[in-house]
Structure 1
Amino acid sequence: MQKSLGHSIKFGLVVLALGGLGLASNVAFAGDAMAASPAQIKDFAHAVAQIKPLNVQAHSEISQKGVSKAKQDAVKKSYMEKVDKVLATNHLSAGQYSSMLKQTQTDPAFAKQVEAAMH
């Protein structure tokens, strides 16, 4: 249970970071859960692992006192470019990624599949 909670928190951090950076509006959330293949689940798990440190870094840079709006915008732009590269490397669109991310929060069986792919 604690392991599962840790991964739920990890996924929540990705969503929180996107929202906290003002980037959630750039991501389209799909309304329906998608049926993902094992390869897509593995790609998604890799993308989550690669995006998490980018979230931490961008949030840290933007949260510093005295950071100008121009610097914040530059950090956001750089972050989105890096995320786009991660998604492309993992054969995912932003829409697929956000849909799968949402599915990890609403579908415990899917979340377990993703957790297994992360190990």
Structure 2
Amino acid sequence: MQKSKLKVITFPFFSRLIELIEAILVNKFPNLSREEVKAMLSMELIKGTKVYEELKEEARQEVKEELREEVKQEVKQELKEEVKTEMIAKLLQRGMSVQEVAEILELDVEVIRNVAGEQKT
């Protein structure tokens, strides 16, 4: 039961929680500097604990997933552009006008002209 509760805590949540605790301590101990408050909350105190390790692993997994998704979107976009570039070339080779190709592929006429210019060089 405890393990499932821990999974609900996310890294951004943990960060905000630390900031909240820091703000409370600053208000509670106005004579302390921000550095002293941060020292009170030093990560050294929790490093090595099971909670810390679980949060660290969860953060690592979140970062991996975000990177994976970002790369996936970039690859998808690059493939889309590559396919459109090939389509532009093929449609122009079949004698279609720049305007017709732009309408079919729902692209700006200038994009078609740029690709057509690149095909000639």
Q: TM-score, normalised by structure 2?
A: 0.27
Select the structure of larger CA radius of gyration. Answer: 2
Higher relative contact order, chain-length normalized (CA < 8 Å, sep 6+): 1
Q: TM-score, normalised by structure 1?
A: 0.27
